[in-house]
Amino acid sequence: MASTPKRPLRILVVDDNRAHCYALAKRLLHEGFQVRQAYDGYSALRGSRSFPDLILMDINMPGIDGFEVCRRVKRDPSSAHIPVILFSSTVDVEECRTLAIKAGGVDFFTAAEAINLAPLIHALTASPN
C-alpha cells in the first residue's frame, strides 16, 4: 500500500525587518518548508490561528513584542501546541533565552543563528512514528 506523501512543514516567520524576514523565508523555502511572513505581532497572532506548524519570531517589534505574542499564542487553545522559536540581533542571549522559555517558547537564538535552524526545526516537528 502506497503511503500518502507528507505535506511540507508550515512555518510562520515574523520580523518587522522585512529584509531579514525575506532572507529567513527564502532560506526555509530552500530547505523544503512552506513559509508565510508577518511583519508585526498582531499579524503573527492572526497567522497563528490557521497556518503554522512552527513560529520563528523576532522579539523586537513595534506594537507587541515577540515575548508577548508567544505568551498569547500559548494561552490560546487553538495555537498552544505550536512551537515558537524566538530570535533577535541586539540582545543579551542568556537573558533573552530565559525570557523566551518563560513566555512559552522552545528556545532563543541570535538572528545570525536563526538563518541556520532547519535541522532544529525538523527535529522539533518530527512525528513520533
Greater pLDDT, 123 or 109? 109
pLDDT in tens, 42-62: 999 999 988 899 999 999 998
d(CA 103, CA 97): 10
Q: Look at residue 103 and tell me if it is in a domain.
A: yes
Spatial contact of 12 and 66, defined as CB atoms under 8 Å apart = no
Q: Look at residue 125 and tell me if it is in a domain.
A: no
d(CA 41, CA 100): 15
Q: Look at residue 121 and tell me if it is in a domain.
A: no
pTM tops 0.85: yes
pLDDT in tens, 69-89: 999 999 999 999 999 999 998
The angle subtended at Cα 77 by Cα 113 and Cα 65, nearest 5°, is 40
d(CA 22, CA 27): 9
Banded model confidence at residue 123, pLDDT cuts 50, 70, 90? confident
Q: How many structural domains compose the chain?
A: 1
- The CATH number covering residue 57 comes to 3.40.50.2300
Q: Look at residue 120 and tell me if it is in a domain.
A: no
Residue with cell 492572526: 46
Banded model confidence at residue 129, pLDDT cuts 50, 70, 90? very low
Q: Look at residue 126 and tell me if it is in a domain.
A: no
